[in-house]
């Protein structure tokens, strides 16, 4: 079993098989985008060290993708169970608001930074547990269950911040989302660390197998003794925690908490990242590495659109068209049709 790909097929990266490898399909759009950028944008691939920090477009894309990568990792596990978590954006706003409100708007923090961050993560975890309890315990449809927090979470964040943008002036607050460690952005370490840790967790425990079994056939899973209810709660709690981390990164990056706009529609980008990564929304087999690549693809696309100077008013249309093309290109139905055409 490959570290990050939880697929029914064994990974066979040899020769022509490579083109059929799920990760290749997830990575290809990203590669195409980066190549196009390298051709169209002078100095795109240029990396330089300034003040001991690595700068360049590639680093910028990866750094800005960090919150989406985090959200997509959580979303992947939820989708594997046939579920979906549309409260991610609201949890991002809530986590940011909790941290910012606790640290406060003065030069000195009201609450120790670590405590504030832990409290924010605890709130995010509680959100995830709530979602999991609704889906697992009450058997609510995932989209309906998480819709509740999608609305209430942001409302709660607005209550905490009195509907105002809370600006944090305590300097260390900016470290997580804007600081550097050994030349690279801290957020990058966080996203990469969570990705690797999740991959290891899936590899060294039976979590990957159980999640897929529950996603593919919940009835058979129960009769085989798989603890389906506990797994569902875990998946949603994990997604909540990931969203909380993403919220901290976002809030820290702008040193403020905006309950109205932070993480807005992030859940949809996360679902898109998971889909681009080759995980079907019908549950079962999933690819964590694919989701990370999907998140990077979305961020690279955003970057490209801005860098090419596409007017802001057509920005979303261009983005939608690219996403459409990528999805079409990955459609197994289309491949079957093309295959038939080639044979005829």
Partner 1 sequence: MVDAANPAPLLELAGIHLQFPGVKALTDAGLRLYPGEVHTLMGQNGAGKSSLIKVLTGVYTPDAGRITLAGAPIRPRSARHAQELGISTVYQEVNLCPNLSVAENVCVGRYPRRFGMIDWAAMRRQAAALLERLQVRIDVTRPLGAYPLAMQQMVAIARSLGTSARVLVLDEPTSSLDEAEVQRLFEVLRRLRAEGMAILFVTHFLDQTFAISDRITVLRNGEREGEYLCTELSRVDLVNKMVGAQAETQAPAPTASHAGPEVLRAHGLTRRGVLAPTDLAARSGEVLGLCGLLGSGRTELARLLFGADRADAGSITVQGRERKFRSPRDAIAAGIAFCSEDRKHEGAILPLSVRENVVLALQVRAGLWRAIPLRKQRALAEEYVRQLGIKTASVETPIGTLSGGNQQKVLLARWLVTEPNALILDEPTRGIDIRAKQEIMDYVTALCRKGMAILFISSELPEVLRCSQRLLVMRDRRAGGEYLQGELDEQSVLHVIAEET
Give the residues lining the site for partner 1 (CB under 8 A). 1, 8-10, 203-207, 209-210, 212-213, 216-217, 219-227, 284-285
Question: Do the strands 53-56 and 47-50 form a parallel or antiparallel pair, or are they unpaired?
Answer: antiparallel
Q: Torsions phi, psi of 49, nearest 5?
A: -105, 115
Q: Which residue lies nearer to partner 1 by CB, 144 or 220? A: 220
Cα–Cα distance, 59 to 49 (Å, whole number):
11
Q: Which residue lies nearer to partner 1 by CB, 38 or 280? A: 280
Residue 122 and residue 246 in contact, taking contact as beta carbons nearer than 8 Å: no
Q: From the CB of 213, what's the least distance to partner 1, in Å?
A: 5
Q: Which residue lies nearer to partner 1 by CB, 46 or 336? A: 336
Q: From the CB of 6, what's the least distance to partner 1, in Å?
A: 10
Residue 183 and residue 124 in contact, taking contact as beta carbons nearer than 8 Å: no
Q: Which residue lies nearer to partner 1 by CB, 149 or 207? A: 207
Q: From the CB of 284, what's the least distance to partner 1, in Å?
A: 6
Buried b or exposed e, range 111-137, using 16+ CB within 10 angstroms: eebeebbebbbebbbebbbbbbbbbbe
Q: Give residues with Cβ within 8 angstroms of 84, minimum separation 6.
A: 75, 78, 142, 143, 146, 271, 281
Half-sphere exposure of 194 (CA within 13 A, CB side): 25
Q: From the CB of 131, what's the least distance to partner 1, in Å?
A: 20
Residue 68 and residue 299 in contact, taking contact as beta carbons nearer than 8 Å: yes
Q: From the CB of 307, what's the least distance to partner 1, in Å?
A: 41
Cα–Cα distance, 241 to 260 (Å, whole number):
20
Burial class, 224, CB count within 10 angstroms (exposed 0-12 / middle 13-18 / buried 19+): exposed
State the CB neighbour count (10 A cutoff) for residue 154: 24
Q: Which residue lies nearer to partner 1 by CB, 29 or 284? A: 284
Q: Which residue lies nearer to partner 1 by CB, 204 or 336? A: 204
Q: From the CB of 225, what's the least distance to partner 1, in Å?
A: 4
Q: From the CB of 234, what's the least distance to partner 1, in Å?
A: 9
Q: From the CB of 263, what's the least distance to partner 1, in Å?
A: 31
Which tokens hold the place of 209?
């197998």
Residue 206 gets the label, from left (phi > 0), alpha (psi -120 to 50) or beta, of alpha
Q: Which residue lies nearer to partner 1 by CB, 11 or 118? A: 11
Token pair 């240029």: residue: 46
Q: Which residue lies nearer to partner 1 by CB, 332 or 341? A: 332
Q: From the CB of 285, what's the least distance to partner 1, in Å?
A: 6
Residue 170 and residue 107 in contact, taking contact as beta carbons nearer than 8 Å: yes
Q: Which residue lies nearer to partner 1 by CB, 210 or 238? A: 210
């Amino acid at each position: 079993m490959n570290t990050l790909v939880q697929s029914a097929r064994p990974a066979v990266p040899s020769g022509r098989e490579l083109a059929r490898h799920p990760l290749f399909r997830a990575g290809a759009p990203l590669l195409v985008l980066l190549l196009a950028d390298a051709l169209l944008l002078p100095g795109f691939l240029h990396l330089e060290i300034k003040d001991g920090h690595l700068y360049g477009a590639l680093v910028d894309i990866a750094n800005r993708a960090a919150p989406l990568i985090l959200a997509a990792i959580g979303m992947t596990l939820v989708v594997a169970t046939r579920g979906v978590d549309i409260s991610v954006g609201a949890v991002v706003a809530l986590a940011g608001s909790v941290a910012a409100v606790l640290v406060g708007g003065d030069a000195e923090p009201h609450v120790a930074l670590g405590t504030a961050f832990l409290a924010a993560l605890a709130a995010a975890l509680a959100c995830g547990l709530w979602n999991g309890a609704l889906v697992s315990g009450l058997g609510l449809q995932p989209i309906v269950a998480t819709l509740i927090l999608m609305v209430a979470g942001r409302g709660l964040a607005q209550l905490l911040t009195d509907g105002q943008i809370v600006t944090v002036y305590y300097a260390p607050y900016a470290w997580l989302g804007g600081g550097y460690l050994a030349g690279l952005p801290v957020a990058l370490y966080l996203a990469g660390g969570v990705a690797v840790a999740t991959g290891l967790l899936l590899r060294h425990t039976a979590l990957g197998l159980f999640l897929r079994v529950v996603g593919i056939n919940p009835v058979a899973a129960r009769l085989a003794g798989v603890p389906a209810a506990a797994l569902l709660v875990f998946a949603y709690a994990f997604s909540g925690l990931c969203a909380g981390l993403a919220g901290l990164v976002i809030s820290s990056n702008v040193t403020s908490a905006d309950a109205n706009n932070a993480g807005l529609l992030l859940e949809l980008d996360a679902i898109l990242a998971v889909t681009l990564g080759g995980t079907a929304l019908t549950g079962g087999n999933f690819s964590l590495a694919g989701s990370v690549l999907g998140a990077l693809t979305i961020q690279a696309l955003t970057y490209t659109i801005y860098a090419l100077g596409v007017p802001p008013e057509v920005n979303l249309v261009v983005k939608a068209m690219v996403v459409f093309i990528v999805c079409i290109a990955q459609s197994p139905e289309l491949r079957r049709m093309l295959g038939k055409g080639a044979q005829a």
